[in-house]
Amino acid sequence: MSSPDTANALRALLAFYAEAGVASFVREEPVNRLAEPAMPPATAPLPAEDTPRAASEPAPSRTLAARAPSPETPQLAPIPASATSPEAATMAAREAAGSAATLDELRAILDRFDGCALKTMAKQLVFADGNPQARLMFVGEAPGRDEDIEGRPFVGRSGQLLDRMLTAIGLDRADAYIANIIPWRPPGNRTPTPQESAICLPFIRRQIELADPDVLVCLGGPSMQTLLGVKEGIRRSRGRWHSYDTGTREIRAIATFHPAYLLRSPLEKRHAWRDFLAIKKALEEG
């Protein structure tokens, strides 16, 4: 048995933890705290612990004893797959993406994947458009409203501008393969969170590997930073050539302005035109 001094020290330590906001102990199995409500309603009973304390067992402290569940308290509902931690979802995405042998399989896997909460808020998956056998591939950040409705990337005003830019260098959609890092529209066209991008990154990397283009074009700063690892802004980094490892070989990659940005800043089109001329030259040399 422990001495009275030891017991008093333990009680004092538990009281300190309770005052600091500690409401539960570490368990043998992980618990997703993000899936639990931040504050239960005033009239709702407190959620039960996995293993209720026996009635005869003394409470460790007066403060923590007030939080002890009663046997009648209902258990929390199971955590849905979409509420798993970002780390677990990212690992699941890597395994799922790596198992795809073709682009069709990758699309089917994305249709079944529930690790990204954006899927529950979007109308449908926006996987790709254009020619998957093309030597040129464009990757943007995320679909917008028009893309969410049609299920194809770059079909709104941004897509129309991209089509005109391709036409200006003698190409069209049949000469390019187009996708986004995020295949589901964020609500309100908001910027995807870093966690959402990290979860979807294995899928776009596998998509690039399976498409195997000769030239990869990142449309906008987020795509450039995610795929090329460039930390500078798009205005300073656009037009520079990089080497991108598809997983099977090294290909040439370049970043340019996103068409949506060019619609807001028409004066930047002159820089985008130079980038597209460089893309045309790279395809001709290749």
Domain of 242, CATH number, reads 3.40.470.10
Local confidence band at 30 (pLDDT 50, 70, 90 cut-offs) = low
Alpha carbon distance 95, 97 (integer Å): 6
Across all residues in the chain, what is the average pLDDT?
Answer: 83
* Helix (H/G/I), strand (E/B), else coil: 118: helix
User: Are residues 102 and 57 part of one domain?
Assistant: no
User: Are residues 99 and 52 part of one domain?
Assistant: no
- The dihedral built from the CA positions of residue 220, 222, 227 and 230, taken in this order, carries a sign that is positive
User: Are residues 96 and 33 part of one domain?
Assistant: no
User: Are residues 260 and 177 part of one domain?
Assistant: yes
* Backbone dihedral angles phi then psi of residue 112, each to the nearest 5 degrees: -95, -10
**Is the pLDDT reported for residue 39 higher than 90?**
no
Alpha carbon distance 50, 48 (integer Å): 6
For 63, residues 6+ apart whose C-beta sits below 8 A from its C-beta are: 14, 15, 18, 19
Mean pLDDT within 251-271: 97
Q: Is residue 142, in this structure, part of any structural domain at all?
A: yes
Nearest to 128 by CA among 54, 203, 190: 203
User: Are residues 239 and 142 part of one domain?
Assistant: yes
User: Are residues 151 and 87 part of one domain?
Assistant: yes
Side chain identity at 185, as an amino acid letter? R
Alpha carbon distance 192, 184 (integer Å): 10
Tell me the three-class secondary structure of 173-241, residue by residue.
Answer: HHHEEEEECCCCCCHHHCCCCHHHHHHHHHHHHHHHHHHCCCEEEEECHHHHHHHHCCCCCHHHHCCCE
Q: Is residue 58, in this structure, part of any structural domain at all?
A: yes
Q: Is residue 30, in this structure, part of any structural domain at all?
A: yes
pLDDT at residue 86 in the model: 86
* Helix (H/G/I), strand (E/B), else coil: 89: helix
- Alpha carbon distances (Å) from 58 to 4, 49, 53: 15, 16, 9
Q: Is residue 21, in this structure, part of any structural domain at all?
A: yes
Higher pLDDT, 162 or 10: 162
User: Are residues 222 and 136 part of one domain?
Assistant: yes
- Alpha carbon distances (Å) from 268 to 97, 139, 169, 191: 36, 19, 17, 22
Q: Which of 65, 97, 114 is the last residue of a domain?
A: 65
User: Are residues 153 and 52 part of one domain?
Assistant: no
User: Are residues 136 and 207 part of one domain?
Assistant: yes
**Is the pLDDT reported for residue 233 higher than 80?**
yes
Alpha carbon distance 251, 244 (integer Å): 5
Its domain, for residue 134, covers: 82-285
* Helix (H/G/I), strand (E/B), else coil: 144: coil
User: Are residues 126 and 215 part of one domain?
Assistant: yes
Nearest to 258 by CA among 133, 151, 165, 124: 165
Local confidence band at 254 (pLDDT 50, 70, 90 cut-offs) = very high
Q: What is the pLDDT of residues 87-137, one digit of tens each?
A: 999 999 999 999 999 999 999 999 999 999 999 999 999 999 999 999 999
Q: Is residue 76, in this structure, part of any structural domain at all?
A: no
**Is the pLDDT reported for residue 67 higher than 80?**
no
Q: Is residue 70, in this structure, part of any structural domain at all?
A: no
User: Are residues 99 and 51 part of one domain?
Assistant: no
**What's the total number of domains in the chain?**
2
Can you give the pTM of this predicted structure?
0.71
Q: Is residue 47, in this structure, part of any structural domain at all?
A: yes
Q: Is residue 74, in this structure, part of any structural domain at all?
A: no
User: Are residues 147 and 10 part of one domain?
Assistant: no
Alpha carbon distance 148, 141 (integer Å): 13
pLDDT at residue 232 in the model: 92
Higher pLDDT, 185 or 42: 185
